[in-house]
Amino acid sequence: MSTELAISTRGLRKTYRSRTGQRSVAVGGLDLDVPVGGVHGFLGPNGAGKTTTIRMLLGLIRADSGTMTVFGQTVPERLPEVIGRVGAIVEQPKFFPSFSGRKNLTMLARAIDAPTTLVDVVLSDVGLLDRADDRYKGYSLGMKQRLAIAATLLKDPDLLIFDEPTNGLDPAGIREIRGTMRGLADRGKTVLVSSHILAEVEQVADTVSIIARGELIASGTVADLIGAGAAGTVRVGIADVPRAQQVLAAQGWTVRAEGRYLLVDGGVAPASITEALAAQRLFVDELVPVRVDLESVFLELTAGRGPGTHAPPPAGQHRPAHHAGDAS
Amino acid sequence: MSRLLRVELDRFASRTLIRLGVVGVLVICCLAVVNAWQSASPPTEAERAQAQVYYEQALEDWEENGEQWVADCEEGEAAEKEAATDPDAIDWGCDQMEPKAENWLGSPPSFDTDTTALLMSMSALFVLAPLLLAGSFVSAEFSTGSIGNWLTFAPRRTRVYLSKVLAAGLATIPVAAVGVAIVLGGSWAFYRYFDTLDGGPASELSSPVHVALRIVALAPVIAVIGAALGFLVRHTAAVLGVMLGWLVLVEVILVGRVQQLQPWALITNVTAWVEGSTEYYVTQCTVNAAGQSCQSVEHVVSQTQGAIYLGVLAVVVAGIALLVFRRRDVG
């Protein structure tokens, strides 16, 4: 992974004034680093400030304070110099509804002085060539999303920003988008994908940043964030829970009872657990290492942090140690 | 910049709503030519005979009652002159009361006069249409959200703004030109068909052609204002609302109450530009021994004022819209 940054923000802040004059913080001093190359997941609950951050990076809305760079260029001041290297889809794709897909892309190509012959190439890349002359308003959501991806490819960008790209897509569409993102990253592009659907990001992202209430709360590689938790807990199913708890606690391990299960924390090897219990003629029905996924990390980190955040995770799931500042 | 301008001109020409609007304008122009047909056609023999009957009846009445009518008229005129501070301004036309045949036959067809009047009556169309076409052209980008996508390809907002406003202005020129050409050409053809052109082509065409050219020149100025309004209010219906609101609240109610504002009304200045000049009247009242006496005083708004007014208005509205667009968040 490169240490060069595709995107960097420092102290980025944006507030909105409501009709009643009250100010609400959309992004509150965000420090975000997106390395060059690979897929970077930009995660957070709804209302966490992901789209606002992306819009600020693209010069669509003005930051109240803070600094932003894209490939080392300060934005929005020097955005025109770097925008040719950036392709972006912000929320739902928005094109001229009465124009065909081809017409929409042709106009964009002419605006950036790209050869119009490229239009059919990118339409073919996303599998829309046979529907290129249909009106955009007649496209399905998946086709609209694919057209938006085709539009970003007109620039042959080094950085692609996808904001909630799978919203409203069916499973096949989600898989297709995921494949596209991975394919772009494998071709050396940097892909920033914002999402609140963790499972899809986990499958495709190399690094992630998690934000809540407009602040970074964790960042690092997916493996690091999940790996810290993977050292954690083993769930033991056994008939005599109280006695088994005594036996395991006597080994100096942290043991919690949860219904007809025991949860053994601290990275104890399952083999050691079965050995200790068998020595006391206690035999396990079930022995399962509790898998920590990105979703559980995310839920833990964002618990109680503003709109769209979640209640604390169920017992037995691990709280990762990778908060902002100690991320790898 | 020129690249963006060409793309915007293409977009203007390709939008379905704008195409429908242009067709609508041209259809209205074609319908107006029907009016020219009626003006150009000389009265038929039956119409002449009927008019002659009405004229002879009126003449009989006049011979019987004319003296009394003139006396009554002169008595009323004298009474009003006595009360007026400027008696010379009072003229009831008592010496013009005798019936004349042309009162029933109408004035003979005149291409120059009739076509000029027809074009002037259509100037409202050539204000309304560019305003709405340009307003819709810009505001549709905001209402569909495609402006956000566009700015990720062309992030220099001043260039984006200028390309759209200039495109709107330029694109309305051929629309207005074709529209007035239909009216002018159609009218000319009818007068020629009925052989009612009463002078050489140069003298006949001079006045209506000048009005037509001024209408064509007005269209892009109004389109720039419409496009700028589109940037400000971001919805076609809102552009229409602003226009109607201005007409009702400012042009009708405010200017109606404060007559001194008349020279600064939009309608007055548009009329002055299109017609060469226009008049407005301010009522001035004086109190003398006989009581209060009021009279209308005529003032003239020149074509030059109309041109300057419209130019300044376009620059100011476009400037404000540019400042707002440069600073405003795009959702």
Q: Please answer whether residues A209 and A42 qualify as being in contact, where contact means their C-beta atoms are separated by less than 8 angstroms.
A: yes
- Tell which of A83, A122, A160 to mutate to test the B interface (max B CBs under 10 Å): A83
Residues A84 and A63: their CA atoms lie apart, in Å, by 22
Which pLDDT value is given to residue A325?
A: 35
Which pLDDT value is given to residue A323?
A: 38
Q: pTM (2 decimals)? A: 0.81
CB pairs under 8 A between A and B: 76
**b/e per residue B91-130 (b: at least 16 CB within 10 A):** eeebeeeebeeeebbeeebbbbebbbbbbbebbebbbebb
Which pLDDT value is given to residue A125?
A: 87
Q: For residue A231, is pLDDT > 60?
A: no
The pLDDT confidence band at residue B128, using thresholds 50, 70 and 90, is very high
pLDDT in tens, A120-179: 999 998 889 999 999 999 998 888 988 999 999 999 899 999 998 887 778 888 888 888
Q: Please answer whether residues B80 and B90 qualify as being in contact, where contact means their C-beta atoms are separated by less than 8 angstroms.
A: yes
Question: Is the pLDDT higher at A72 or at B104?
Answer: A72
Q: Six-digit token pair at B308?
A: 């300057």
Which pLDDT value is given to residue A259?
A: 85
Q: Please answer whether residues B249 and B259 qualify as being in contact, where contact means their C-beta atoms are separated by less than 8 angstroms.
A: no
For tokens 């039956």, name the residue: B46
| Closest-approach residue (CA) in chain B for A79 | B155
Q: Mean pLDDT for chain A?
A: 84
Which pLDDT value is given to residue B199?
A: 57
Which pLDDT value is given to residue A314?
A: 41
Nearest-CA distance B250 → chain A (Å): 28
- Cis peptide preceding A76, ω within 30 of 0: yes
Residues B139 and B144: their CA atoms lie apart, in Å, by 9
Residues A199 and A185: their CA atoms lie apart, in Å, by 18
C-alpha distance across the termini of chain B, in Å? 24
- CATH entry 3.20.20.70 includes domain A5-227: no
Calculate mean pLDDT across residues A278-298: 82
- Residues from chain B contacting residue A113 (CB–CB below 8 Å): 3
Which of A137-146, A248-257, B73-82 shows the lowest mean pLDDT across its residues?
B73-82
Which pLDDT value is given to residue B290?
A: 67
| Closest-approach residue (CA) in chain B for A152 | B153
What phi-psi label fits residue B98: left (phi over 0), alpha (psi between -120 and 50 degrees) or beta? beta
Nearest to B16 among A60, A98, A112 (CB): A98
The pLDDT confidence band at residue A107, using thresholds 50, 70 and 90, is very high
Does A79 contact B3 at a Cβ distance shorter than 8 Å? no
Question: Which one of 3.30.70.100, 3.30.1490.20, 3.30.465.10, 1.10.150.130 gives the CATH number of domain A233-289?
Answer: 3.30.70.100
Question: Is the pLDDT higher at A84 or at A319?
Answer: A84
- Residues from chain B contacting residue A59 (CB–CB below 8 Å): 151, 155
| β A234-237/A73-75 pair status | unpaired
- Residues from chain B contacting residue A100 (CB–CB below 8 Å): none
Give the torsion sign (CA, B22, B24, B28, B30): positive
For tokens 């960042």, name the residue: A219
pLDDT in tens, B145-155: 899 999 999 99
Q: Mean pLDDT for chain B?
A: 89
Calculate mean pLDDT across residues B53-67: 89
Q: Please answer whether residues A24 and A175 qualify as being in contact, where contact means their C-beta atoms are separated by less than 8 angstroms.
A: no
Q: Please answer whether residues B270 and B293 qualify as being in contact, where contact means their C-beta atoms are separated by less than 8 angstroms.
A: no
Q: What is the ipTM of this complex?
A: 0.78
The pLDDT confidence band at residue A3, using thresholds 50, 70 and 90, is low
Does B7 contact A112 at a Cβ distance shorter than 8 Å? no
Most trustworthy range by pLDDT among A97-101, A299-303, B97-101 = A97-101
| β A5-17/A65-70 pair status | antiparallel
The pLDDT confidence band at residue A318, using thresholds 50, 70 and 90, is very low
Per-domain boundaries in chain A? 5-227, 233-289
For tokens 């260039």, name the residue: B159
Q: For residue B246, is pLDDT > 50?
A: yes
Residues B236 and B247: their CA atoms lie apart, in Å, by 17
Q: Which residues partner with B286 through β-bridges?
A: B293
